[in-house]
Structure 1
């Protein structure tokens, strides 16, 4: 009854973290080992030993709230920012529930992740936390050998870590029933839906038993995910912690205004002037061509680095990630394939070489550092074509743009001193003149960037309107590059900025022309005629700038109530953090008129948050949808004819069904039918004799006997002897290199003997 009361008190909200920690402090009568940490969860000895061995001492807020509910058997949807320890939230209860290995029943836990890197990382966590437990885990990833995955599943592992595409493919090939699975985890669930894996997830969920326990973890909570939780989870508990702080407080954000042709030079200035090369740094680029180009340039400059992108070979990706994680190289150049789920504990810096296209992508990029209470820095290079996306980010975070100007020198968006850029730019020109491969790689990256711009989502209409009123060209030197030793350079830059931003009050006719000339009189008359409009324009411009102006504060985030009706319908129990008073950053000097209670605004208060969290937008899908009755080109008319065929029974043209109807897209991008089964699995069973060896089990160690040999399950001596004789008589389909060489030697020897016999026979016939 006491546990239920505590749970009911924690459903609407929970007290301050300090109060909770004070409750967990050791009492005088008890030892200090059983207070405040993971000992209070009542874990078994082996699980607790593995947790402490891993280095966990005090649970994070999300772990405090999630682990007890999962141990009770409740379905949980947990939402917290990146780096808050979500992985341990589902692994520790999973190990506590499985306890020990049971080889006969098959897999009992399933963990689905969006990327192979995150799956391998989760497998490593399982091995570390379950170090003192007799549990077996298998990983099912796209790009690996399916034969090895068939063998791994035949070994009846307790835990399966998989990506949805390949796991569904293996399930269809092997006709797996998945009836033994009692614990399912959807890790980074919002990313799974963003990757277009909704069909695969629904198909896998339909194969799972209804009595399963489902745990869903995500950094954000889009509406698609709420609908999935309503359909696939039974009475789930929603836990929303730290959602108002989309970015950790320990993370410092810096924005640098650059021109497109000076972007690479700006990156070298950051790596050489600001960032300590002994610290670990991740550089995010737009395309794989940019990754290869940056990698080649950094190698020529003398900065050791590794790189990752989607089309890279899986083994190479694993090697490059391991080199960076082990500290052999300090710089890692990646695309957005590594923006989610990769946990590098000692990461210090993140550089956005190309500004991300979506605010949520920015959050997960910079979320790779400043994890678990550590500090970190994020540098973003922003070009003229990315200003609107920068405003989208600030609308999503609830902040405003802060420019470094002559009046406000403490902003967070500034430029790099010109002399630093010129030094690196001249160095890059010499490099490209020396190495021709750099020139070719630069051309490929520029072509790739043009294609990237065509597919990049357009920023919001509101941001595109505001960009026109923000004086990005008035940016001065960023505070990062100001120092006492460069006062002369700062004064020089200020003079250049004043010259650059100087605008004369009169036109060339008024300044150069004589006062009695006709041109001078005409311009004066025209100026007097439009004087009111000119003043109105300047006042309007000042008002727009005052709305966007900021006083140099650190980013203070706001959280609006997002889709509350949907959440109330899906979740009866919601665990929320303590409510905090957040200042309104968009408060205008002019008092807003009070609205009537029946007033309906044009846009909802959570518009920007929902746009940032959205997976599929109706507006974008509706724009792509069209109905062509008659093609407007010869190609379209030909395509419309090809989409129909003559039906002999109906005596008319009928439409051809879509090629993707009744099919599921695998992780490799191929479309396979839901009932598709090739001969691949049957060939593997025939080759390994898995059916014969899978019927019996060795009683000594509990492992299946197909790993012990063909005669392991036969009871009598003569039965085993006869089976061995039969196996010797069978010709093996696979031969080793020694057997092949031996067979060739015997064949060559027989051929020589036959030739000798033939020659002797001819000689005898002549005689």
Structure 2
């Protein structure tokens, strides 16, 4: 009969780790932690499926710290791969807190800045590497990493890695490290690419699934507004931000240009303080913006999906999807920035006519219906510019053509409808000859 886990002491963690957990203020393990930690401590390969914000990092960090134990030699004995630099930095912060009473040397590697500092850190000796796949391979090629001592490999946010096209780099890394090792893979969703990765990566894994795939935390209240165009979205955004209960808000957008434009707009309207982060922003700028947001000095963070995963802020009051994400799993990760650590949160999504086509697929993924609300009467509904309307109509046409090869397009239908329409007394006038 399985022992019921009521506290972290029941997980048979050592005193250094328990003291660190106590310092963090955690007393009761989450479901993913109570189920995954014993399996990881037993040395089995592990497949963990859990929605964002459920404590996955602690679930793999604590058994890894227990396994590696203390500083030894010059070369790494464990590798954690993350899809984005933001997530790598977040994981590093967790390890720094959990390993504070040990002498373990943890080095974090990611792109966006020169490798000099990271090379110097590796040269001093390392026990655990936390890295993005590309930077790990870059520094390996420079001769800075000796991977033959790696006995544990962990992939976090595996579904995002597959979406970002990291499979070739992961395969390259698997060729560099020992075949005999413990593997752990964590993912919020289990789409086909992740299934393929597990088949290549894990050996007879124990599967831990603490919630149905791609479910949303119960602490998040989700609502949807059908909004006709960009200008009306701005008006609705302003309407919400005038409400003081929107204390710490992340606004997610699809493009870097939109992120910059919306941030400038909110600045002009004095809705802030506001910061914007996307791939064109320097690494230090992005880290500083997130830190200011975490500390409460910044009210609004406007971001592309670069931060949907990898930003651990427990008191986000609202997430606003200014645009609907085209990778449906990103919806789960975006709204997972709120409602964390048992706090209540609200996720608001704006969708134009085109984006509404994607909503049923997101609802199918999360297995629930998002409540559709009416735009408040005080919000000005702007007329949709011709170019924006035409772009939406063409995109909808393309979607319908993919679904139905016989569909000729809305323009084709309109043209035939016009041709079939009976004419009313068409007059024919001949030109008068000049005399």
TM-score when scaled to structure 2?
0.85
CA contact (8 A) 1:258 1:383 kept: yes
Deviation at 1:333, TM superposition (A): 0.3
Matched, 1:88 2:58: yes
CA contact (8 A) 2:119 2:144 kept: no
CA contact (8 A) 1:358 1:393 kept: no
Matched, 1:215 2:184: yes
1:89-110 deviations in Å (ceiling 9; x for gaps)? 11000111122111x2421111
1:431-476 deviations in Å (ceiling 9; x for gaps)? xxxxxxxxxxxx9xx99x969x9799948849xx9xx9xxxxxxxx
Deviation at 1:390, TM superposition (A): 1.4
Aligned to 2:325: 356
Q: Which has the higher contact order (CA 8 A, sep 6+)?
A: 2
Aligned match for 2:378, one of 375, 397, 419: 419
The structure number with the bigger radius of gyration is 1
- Return the alpha-carbon distance in structure 2 between the equivalents of residues 338 and 175 of structure 1: 29
1:161-204 deviations in Å (ceiling 9; x for gaps)? 11100111111121744111112110101111111111100010
Rate the CA distance shift 1:44–1:394 in 2: closer, same or farther, 3 A: closer
CA contact (8 A) 1:114 1:163 kept: yes
CA contact (8 A) 2:75 2:146 kept: no
Matched, 1:281 2:246: no
Rate the CA distance shift 1:58–1:391 in 2: closer, same or farther, 3 A: same
- Return the alpha-carbon distance in structure 2 between the equivalents of residues 99 and 457 of structure 1: 56
Aligned to 1:156: 125
Rate the CA distance shift 1:99–1:245 in 2: closer, same or farther, 3 A: same
Matched, 1:142 2:111: yes
| SS in structure 1 of the partner of residue 134 of structure 2 | helix
| SS in structure 2 of the partner of residue 418 of structure 1 | coil
Computed over aligned residues only, the root mean square deviation of the Cα atoms, in angstroms, reads 2.7
Give ranges in structure 2 of 5+ residues lacking alignment.
Answer: 411-423, 425-435
CA contact (8 A) 2:75 2:145 kept: no
Give ranges in structure 1 of 5+ residues lacking alignment.
Answer: 7-19, 25-35, 402-411, 426-442, 469-518, 520-767
- Return the alpha-carbon distance in structure 2 between the equivalents of residues 113 and 71 of structure 1: 21
CA contact (8 A) 2:354 2:395 kept: no
CA contact (8 A) 2:278 2:304 kept: yes
Matched, 1:42 2:1: no
Aligned to 1:130: 99
Show the 5 A alignment for 1:579-728: none
CA contact (8 A) 1:80 1:240 kept: yes
Aligned match for 2:206, one of 214, 234, 237: 237
| SS in structure 2 of the partner of residue 174 of structure 1 | coil
- Return the alpha-carbon distance in structure 1 between the equivalents of residues 10 and 232 of structure 2: 55
Aligned to 2:292: 323
Matched, 1:292 2:260: yes
TM-score when scaled to structure 1?
0.49
Rate the CA distance shift 1:417–1:151 in 2: closer, same or farther, 3 A: closer
Rate the CA distance shift 1:456–1:37 in 2: closer, same or farther, 3 A: farther
| SS in structure 2 of the partner of residue 267 of structure 1 | helix
Rate the CA distance shift 1:145–1:244 in 2: closer, same or farther, 3 A: closer
CA contact (8 A) 1:285 1:291 kept: yes
- Return the alpha-carbon distance in structure 2 between the equivalents of residues 268 and 456 of structure 1: 32
Show the 5 A alignment for 1:55-134: 55-102=25-72, 104-134=73-103
Rate the CA distance shift 1:390–1:228 in 2: closer, same or farther, 3 A: closer
Aligned to 1:683: none
Deviation at 1:358, TM superposition (A): 3.2
* Higher share in helix: 1
Rate the CA distance shift 1:335–1:44 in 2: closer, same or farther, 3 A: same
Aligned to 1:268: 238
Rate the CA distance shift 1:377–1:157 in 2: closer, same or farther, 3 A: same
Deviation at 1:271, TM superposition (A): 1.1
Aligned to 1:392: 361
- Return the alpha-carbon distance in structure 2 between the equivalents of residues 124 and 456 of structure 1: 47
Rate the CA distance shift 1:209–1:309 in 2: closer, same or farther, 3 A: same
Rate the CA distance shift 1:400–1:218 in 2: closer, same or farther, 3 A: closer
Aligned to 2:222: 253
Rate the CA distance shift 1:142–1:450 in 2: closer, same or farther, 3 A: farther
